[in-house]
Structure 1
């Protein structure tokens, strides 16, 4: 997506921008975000630091759960790491709404590498506020 088509939420997201995240898809309840792993994103074992994998999944989750004119925030999230990656690889997070009930929602995010292998599975729980976007 070009900068002109990104929602204000992502235009103002300096954290995701500093990590080089690219919004590939932004639809109500669905988001796809990619990120190339840099050397400075690796840990002492030369593998991608889990915090960066979580940040990628969390950004896709945030986009997917902000579906209307009210601010929706994370109430909690869990991640399971399944495969390590290294600098130079591209990770893609695909977030999908599972259910929304009242002001709460559940979203699943799969993080894959450039070969399609699953790197992590993330489940986010959202809370919609009364605050307008």
Structure 2
């Protein structure tokens, strides 16, 4: 999964994310907080945090598969500002059906504090992942 994402996902490269672990049950993805990741108030931008959570969900949902999983729905709650990095998103499977999968994703700051959590669901397509 890591090689696939590094080859095909330009946003992951731009935001300097690293997929540390990716299995169908769990994924962990990290991202630094640089000036490019901050909002006007000097903290991690909500869009960058959301992108990190989405990549962690996608890494777990697509791990070990030949056919792609796409997002159906994602909701996120921002619990506290992300002031210190790196940020880490951990995605845990909640339910896996034949086509629909659900995950909980938790995002932590560099001190290990929970800063956001989201619920993500995906749809198993019949479209092969590119090489």
TM-score by length of 2: 0.91
Cα RMSD (Å) of the superposition?
1.4
1:53 matched residue in structure 2? 49
1:32 to 28, 36, 39: 28
Are the counterparts in 1 of residues 5 and 12 from structure 2 also a CA contact under 8 Å? no
Say yes or no: does 1:110 pair with 2:109. Answer: no
1:79 to 50, 61, 76: 76
Deviation at 1:72, TM superposition (A): 0.4
Unpaired stretches in structure 2, ≥5 consecutive residues: none
Q: 1:10 to 1:126 in 2, by over 3 A?
A: farther
Deviation at 1:101, TM superposition (A): 1.6
Deviation at 1:7, TM superposition (A): 3.5
Q: 1:10 to 1:72 in 2, by over 3 A?
A: farther
* CA distance in structure 1 between the aligned counterparts of 2:38 and 2:112, rounded to whole angstroms: 20
Task: Number of aligned residue pairs: give it.
Answer: 128
Report the more deviating stretch, 6-15 or 59-68. 6-15
Structure 1 runs of 4+ off > 3 angstroms? none
Q: What SS does the corresponding residue of 2:16 show, helix, strand or coil?
A: coil
